[in-house]
């Protein structure tokens, strides 16, 4: 592997000759084709034909300083990228949103002058949009992908957008590379597939040539990338921001959203089957929870630190591919976010909502994170292209809920204009709004110095240590999932050298991981480890907060039990289960051979929510098998009933069963020898205990045995 990260300017060296697919022709602006000699590689230029010296870094003041607006190459590149598609978003196209509120716990005036943090118990209206990144609007919910977690808070001093993800780090360190990572992960332009999938040559070619992506790759190949529900995933602001108080004192901050119901993901085999059974699985889950009054909730937590901590921390706090472990800097709870209302119209609100990282109230400020700097510059272009007018703030979902006044006027679809003769300032008529040095946004007066150059800070050069820390922080089962995901994704790559290049990076993260992936891919010989600008640190302590399993909910609240019934189902057992679930704050669905329902043992009618043909067990967090002796004979003839049980067992879920369900378990290939602590006999007396045990969600000890079958 080329020593890309070892260079101070961050440029990756060429991976070898003909790195642009042996391209021999380049088309000019006028459409003419320019011929290149055999073996030559065309020079990268701007759209005006100007040769580009550095396509890896934005123009900054010093290696860690702010980005400069005069960077015409970055401006052109990001401008064109922002305008590539209409009308759906270029990224985060498939999204779903909800209204709610943020409630502040206590005043934080010591740290910030932001109005919403000045009074305990104050509620600020909110709108939140969750999304996938790579797929189009019509793609499925359970793609292996990053999830957008964008929060718009309608504060009394303007809108504040925390535009984050469910992963605290990102693929790239500099915003100038954003078009490249998205181009690479999207469907390949000649074939227009695969859709909503990273398992293809272009993505892994880019990643294998971009060592800074290795930490993010560990997250995306983990179960974090296939969450069970929006309600069960964390959110992060990703970047380092600043809090600024009334004395103009600055405190660095990272934003964390912690789900009240704990974290939970699905297995890859589940995700594939869920996408077939219900491609709107995440949307339906959020809709159902809010409509039934089970309002999703997250706690906002701050990781706050000063310049001394930033200077002493092992990694650069401006590097968006790094995090600060919670054991090193525990986050402090500051408030809660509750979603309690669905949009009245999906298009008017969820599709037209415009998030921009530069939307901050006084008291919140930016750091010099180069990815954040670029995002601040880019988002306005994006909204203009998508929503068709500079007046997109006139759309109700984007309009502030506080008083506002300015002299902006006219333009396409203007819904309001300044009133009166004056539309400028200063003016001598005493009309119109005026600036307020006391109340207005004032950037933190940081002192910057350095040469004006395209540079990558040397402090950004360690690309493997935190990737290793994430991997060793997972349970053995979670590590197995990462290895399996990498093997699967790379097995779809047709170019052998790309697969080998990725394994060379994995050797710098964990040799056992690299060996598993290399063996799974059938590599004849293992490659040498990729050249590393900074050796991988072995001394970083595992962080338990990085594991989903280690941070499970230990309760079944907010989850769903699938209950399989037939004519003659024991009414007492069913009633006891329903009571136990209600007490636990969980829900259930009744699955029957026919969607009309079934007659219980006491003659009452059991209304069904689903029929067995349309309700595989992947849609539920656990299952209960309550067929009567006569009814089970009919189920034995249904392959979907067999799959219902077999999948639940293979996915390590808890299974409750009555004695009469034994033939169905046997039909699914589950014998008495296979029974474990997660296969539980049920009666009316055992129902409450069964529900209590469901809080563990999975029987992970079962997984290795299932894999060997």
Domains and CATH numbers, the chain: 1-41 (no CATH), 59-394 (2.40.180.10), 554-708 (3.40.50.880)
Task: Reply yes or no on whether the pLDDT at 112 is more than 90.
Answer: yes
Residue 21's pLDDT is what?
A: 37
155-164, 221-230, 421-430: segment of lowest average pLDDT: 421-430
Q: Tell me the β-bridge partners of 130.
A: 96, 149
Residues sharing a CB contact under 8 Å with residue 672, sequence separation 6 or more, in sequence order:
none
Catalytic residue selected from 57, 104, 159, 165: 165
pLDDT band at 98 (very low <50, low <70, confident <90, very high): very high
pLDDT band at 407 (very low <50, low <70, confident <90, very high): confident
DSSP state at residue 16: S
pLDDT band at 18 (very low <50, low <70, confident <90, very high): very low
Task: Reply yes or no on whether the pLDDT at 17 is more than 50.
Answer: no
pLDDT digits (tens, 9 = 90+) for 569-628: 999 999 999 999 999 999 999 999 999 999 999 999 999 999 999 999 999 999 999 999
CA distance 494 to 191: 14
9-18, 73-82, 646-655: segment of lowest average pLDDT: 9-18
Q: Tell me the β-bridge partners of 298.
A: 259, 337
**CA quadruple 643, 645, 651, 654: dihedral, nearest 10:** 170
Q: For 591-599, which contacts have Cβ atoms below 8 Å and span 24 or more sequence positions? A: 591/562, 591/563, 591/564, 591/565, 591/615, 591/644, 592/564, 592/565, 592/566, 593/566, 593/631, 593/634, 593/635, 593/638, 598/565, 598/566, 598/567, 598/568, 598/569, 598/631, 599/567, 599/568
Q: What average pLDDT does the segment 357-368 reach?
A: 95
pLDDT band at 425 (very low <50, low <70, confident <90, very high): confident
343-347, 415-419, 697-701: segment of lowest average pLDDT: 415-419
Residue 546's pLDDT is what?
A: 98
CB count within 10 Å of CB 115 equals 19
CA distance 86 to 387: 9
pLDDT band at 202 (very low <50, low <70, confident <90, very high): very high
pLDDT band at 35 (very low <50, low <70, confident <90, very high): low
Write the burial class of residue 75 (CB in 10 Å: 0-12 exposed, 13-18 middle, 19+ buried): middle
Active site residue 165: yes
CA distance 184 to 490: 15
b/e string for 626-662 if b means 16 or more Cβ within 10 A? bbbeebbeebeeeebbbbbbbbbbbbbbbbbbbebbe
pLDDT band at 57 (very low <50, low <70, confident <90, very high): very high
| Helix H or strand E segment including 503 | helix 496-506
451's tokens: 């040469």
25-29, 409-413, 438-442: segment of lowest average pLDDT: 25-29
Beta strand residue intervals within 513-554, DSSP E: none
Complete DSSP assignment for 182-250: HHHHSPBTTTTB-TT---SHHHHHHHHT-GGGHHHHHHHTSGGGSBS-GGG--EE--S-EEEE-TT--E
> What is the average pLDDT value for the chain, to the nearest integer?
92
Write the burial class of residue 574 (CB in 10 Å: 0-12 exposed, 13-18 middle, 19+ buried): buried
Task: Reply yes or no on whether the pLDDT at 4 is more than 50.
Answer: no
Residue of higher predicted confidence among 708 and 55: 55
Angle in degrees, CA 478, 484, 487, rounded to 5: 145
The distance of Cα 689 from the centroid of its chain, to the nearest Å, equals 35
pLDDT digits (tens, 9 = 90+) for 329-349: 999 999 999 999 999 999 999
369's tokens: 């994170």
pLDDT digits (tens, 9 = 90+) for 437-454: 888 998 999 999 999 999
pLDDT band at 708 (very low <50, low <70, confident <90, very high): very low
Most confident of 9-18, 54-63, 297-306: 297-306
32-36, 66-70, 462-466, 647-651: segment of lowest average pLDDT: 32-36
Active site residue 269: no
Task: Reply yes or no on whether the pLDDT at 19 is more than 80.
Answer: no
Q: Quick check: 452 and 59 in contact, CB under 8 A?
A: yes
Task: Reply yes or no on whether the pLDDT at 492 is more than 80.
Answer: yes
| Helix H or strand E segment including 512 | helix 511-521
Beta strand residue intervals within 9-94, DSSP E: 25-27, 33-35, 59-61
Model pTM score = 0.90
Catalytic residue selected from 92, 200, 215, 651: 92
209's tokens: 């040539």
420-429, 465-474, 681-690: segment of lowest average pLDDT: 420-429
CA distance 210 to 454: 18
Output the CA–CA distances (angstroms, integers) from residue 23 to 26, 202, 493, 548, in the order listed: 8, 16, 20, 45
Residue 73's pLDDT is what?
A: 85
Q: Quick check: 131 and 148 in contact, CB under 8 A?
A: yes
What count of residues does the chain have?
Answer: 709
pLDDT digits (tens, 9 = 90+) for 643-693: 999 999 999 999 999 999 999 999 999 999 999 999 999 999 999 999 999
């Amino acid at each position: 592997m080329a020593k890309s990260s070892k260079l101070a300017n961050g440029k990756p060296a060429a991976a070898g000759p003909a790195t642009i697919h042996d391209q021999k022709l380049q088309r000019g602006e006028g459409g003419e084709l320019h011929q290149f000699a055999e073996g030559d590689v065309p020079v990268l230029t701007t759209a005006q034909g100007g040769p580009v010296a550095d396509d890896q870094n934005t123009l900054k003041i010093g290696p860690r300083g702010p980005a400069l607006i005069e960077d015409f190459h970055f401006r052109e590149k990001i401008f064109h990228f922002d305008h590539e598609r209409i009308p759906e978003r270029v990224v985060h196209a498939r999204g779903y949103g909800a209204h709610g509120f943020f409630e502040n716990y206590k005043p934080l005036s010591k740290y910030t002058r932001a109005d919403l943090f000045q009074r305990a118990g104050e509620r600020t209206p909110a709108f939140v949009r969750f999304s996938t990144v790579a797929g189009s609007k019509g793609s499925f919910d359970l793609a292996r992908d990053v999830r957008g977690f964008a929060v718009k808070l309608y504060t009394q001093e303007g809108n504040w957008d925390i535009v984050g993800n469910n992963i605290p780090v990102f693929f790239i360190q500099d915003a100038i590379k954003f078009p490249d990572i998205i181009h690479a992960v999207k469907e390949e332009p000649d074939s227009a597939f695969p859709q909503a999938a990273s398992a293809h040559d272009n993505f892994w070619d880019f990643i294998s040539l971009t060592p800074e992506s290795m930490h993010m790759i560990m997250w995306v190949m983990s179960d974090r990338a296939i969450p069970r529900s929006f309600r069960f995933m964390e959110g992060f602001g990703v970047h380092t921001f600043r809090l600024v108080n009334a004395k103009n004192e600055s405190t660095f901050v990272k934003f964390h959203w912690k789900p009240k119901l704990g974290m939970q993901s699905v297995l890859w085999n589940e995700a594939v089957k869920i996408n077939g059974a219900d491609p709107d699985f995440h949307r339906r889950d959020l809709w159902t929870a809010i409509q039934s009054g089970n309002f999703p909730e997250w706690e906002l937590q701050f990781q706050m630190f000063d310049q001394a901590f930033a200077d002493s921390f092992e990694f650069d706090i401006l590097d968006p591919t790094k995090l600060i472990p919670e054991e090193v800097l525990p986050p402090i709870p500051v408030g809660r976010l509750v979603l309690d209302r669905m949009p009245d119209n999906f298009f008017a609100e969820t599709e037209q909502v415009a998030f921009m990282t530069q939307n901050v109230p006084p008291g919140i400020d930016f750091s010099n994170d180069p990815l954040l700097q670029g995002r601040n510059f880019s988002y306005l272009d994006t909204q203009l292209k998508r929503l068709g007018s500079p007046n997109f703030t006139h759309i109700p979902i984007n309009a502030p809920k506080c008083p506002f006044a300015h002299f902006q006027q006219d333009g396409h679809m203007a819904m309001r204009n300044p009133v009166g003769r004056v539309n400028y300032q200063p003016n001598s008529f005493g009309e119109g709004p005026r600036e307020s040095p006391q109340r207005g946004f004032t950037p933190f007066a940081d002192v910057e110095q350095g040469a004006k150059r395209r540079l990558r800070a040397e402090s950004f050069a360690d690309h493997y240590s935190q990737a290793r820390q994430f991997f060793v922080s997972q349970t053995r089962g979670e590590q197995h999932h990462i290895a399996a995901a990498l093997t699967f994704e790379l097995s779809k790559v047709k170019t052998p050298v790309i697969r080998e290049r990725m394994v060379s990076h994995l050797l710098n993260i964990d040799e056992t991981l690299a060996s598993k992936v290399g063996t799974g891919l059938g590599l004849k010989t293992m490659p040498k480890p990729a050249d590393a600008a900074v050796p991988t640190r072995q001394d970083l302590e595992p962080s338990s907060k990085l594991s989903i399993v280690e941070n499970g909910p230990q309760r079944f609240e907010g989850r769903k039990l699938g209950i399989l019934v037939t004519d003659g189902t024991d009414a007492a057992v069913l009633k006891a289960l329903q009571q136990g679930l209600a007490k636990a704050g969980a829900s259930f669905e009744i699955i029957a051979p026919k969607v009309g329902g079934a007659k219980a043992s006491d003659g009452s009618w059991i209304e069904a929510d689903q029929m067995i043909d349309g309700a595989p067990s992947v849609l539920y967090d656990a299952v209960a098998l309550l067929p009567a002796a006569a009814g089970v004979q009919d189920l034995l003839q249904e392959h979907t009933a067999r799959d219902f049980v077999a999948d639940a067992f293979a996915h390590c879920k808890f299974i409750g069963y009555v004695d009469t369900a034994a033939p169905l378990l046997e039909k699914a290939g589950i014998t008495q020898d296979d029974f474990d602590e997660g296969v539980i006999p049920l009666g009316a007396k055992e129902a409450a205990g069964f529900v209590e045990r469901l809080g563990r969600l999975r029987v992970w000890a079962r997984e290795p045995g299932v894999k060997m079958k």
